[in-house]
């Protein structure tokens, strides 16, 4: 690795640590070669703090994640721009991964179709990557309280089989501070009953997940998607760099994603 030594006193590192300690989450900094790591709780969950200015290739981050996985430690990659642009969502995601959320049983909720403004507002507040365009939008309500949202694409014809239709689960988010047991399954089942796709596919962001929740629901892992590069605007919002010739303008990347499919 050829990144300069990590400065352990970078301001955003301390901001994150302070926010977590306010929530009574024990934190410890350490170095693994040139990686700056923040170990949480009992040490079985680690956040790799990735500076915007770095020279790591994606494979180094994947290798670090796999090394910790072999030791039964979950490691996620938190980029500086993600923290600076979405600190509330980052803290909520960490709390969720640590199992600190209030649990709601899905059987106590009801599914309703929701409008784009309601879905977008909820996703912007509760999803690490915010809202994106979708065709179908559904919410889970506990009484009158919106506690989860799932959005789906339109059905797409697949060439491999006649009359075969596939849809994508584009976003799923739960209200910060809560987990809904069986919530995602209930939303997918509702969508499937209405639109009758042959399968639903989705992606897990490898920076944060290996798709365990999808596997639990019966999804099969079908592909690994390569790392993507992004440019940043002045507010640290990411834009995908689609043209390889523009790669020099991209200052951040991810470790790719995992594709999952649930067949009906």
The string of pLDDT tens digits covering residues 58-96 is 999 999 999 999 999 999 999 999 999 999 999 999 999
C-alpha 168/C-alpha 211 separation (Å) is: 15
Are 68 and 74 contacting, i.e. CB atoms less than 8 angstroms apart? yes
Confidence of residue 4 (pLDDT cuts 50, 70, 90): very low
Whether residues 67 and 107 fall in one domain: no
Assign residue 167 the CATH number of its domain. Answer: 3.40.630.30
* pTM score of the predicted model: 0.91
pLDDT at 30 over 90: yes
The predicted pLDDT at position 45 comes to 97
Band the pLDDT of 53: cuts 50, 70, 90. confident
Total structural domains within the chain: 3
Instruction: Let me know if residue 202 belongs to a domain.
Output: yes
User: Which domain covers residue 34, as residue numbers?
Assistant: 11-97
Shared domain check, 149 and 169? yes
pLDDT in tens, 191-241: 999 999 999 999 999 999 999 999 999 999 999 999 999 999 888 989 888
Domain boundary among 191, 222, 254: 191
* Tokens linked to 155: 């059905």
Contact by Cβ (8 Å): 89, 83: no
Has residue 74 been placed in a domain? Answer: yes
Query: Once rounded to an integer, what is the mean pLDDT over residues 21-42?
Result: 94
Give me the pLDDT at residue 29, please. Answer: 95
Question: Which tokens sit at 42?
Answer: 């009992």
**118 and 175 part of one domain:** yes
Q: Greatest CA separation found in the chain?
A: 59
CA pseudo-torsion sign 26, 49, 46, 218: positive
């Amino acid at each position: 690795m050829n990144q300069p030594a990590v400065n352990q006193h970078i301001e955003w590192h301390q901001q994150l640590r302070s926010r977590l300690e306010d929530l009574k989450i024990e934190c410890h900094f350490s170095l693994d070669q040139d990686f700056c790591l923040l170990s949480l709780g009992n040490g079985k969950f680690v956040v790799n703090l990735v500076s915007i200015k770095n020279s790591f290739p994606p494979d180094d981050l994947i290798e670090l994640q796999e090394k910790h996985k072999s030791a039964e430690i979950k490691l996620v990659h938190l980029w500086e721009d993600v923290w600076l642009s979405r600190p509330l969502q980052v803290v909520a995601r960490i709390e969720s991964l640590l199992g600190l959320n209030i649990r709601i049983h899905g059987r106590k909720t009801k599914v309703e179709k929701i409008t784009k403004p309601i879905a977008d507002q909820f996703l912007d507040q509760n999803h690490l990557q915010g809202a994106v365009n979708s065709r179908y939008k559904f919410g889970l309500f506990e009484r009158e309280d919106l506690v989860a949202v799932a959005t789906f694409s339109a059905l797409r014809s697949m060439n491999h089989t006649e009359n075969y239709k596939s849809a994508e689960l584009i976003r799923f988010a739960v209200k910060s501070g809560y987990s809904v047991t069986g919530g995602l399954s209930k939303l997918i089942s509702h969508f499937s009953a209405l639109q009758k796709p042959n399968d639903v596919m989705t992606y897990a962001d490898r920076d944060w997940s290996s798709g365990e929740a999808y596997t639990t629901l019966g999804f099969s892992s079908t592909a690994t998607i390569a790392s993507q590069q992004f440019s940043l605007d002045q507010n640290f919002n990411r834009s995908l760099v689609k043209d390889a010739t523009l790669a020099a303008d991209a200052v951040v990347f991810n470790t790719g994603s995992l594709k999952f499919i649930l067949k009906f």
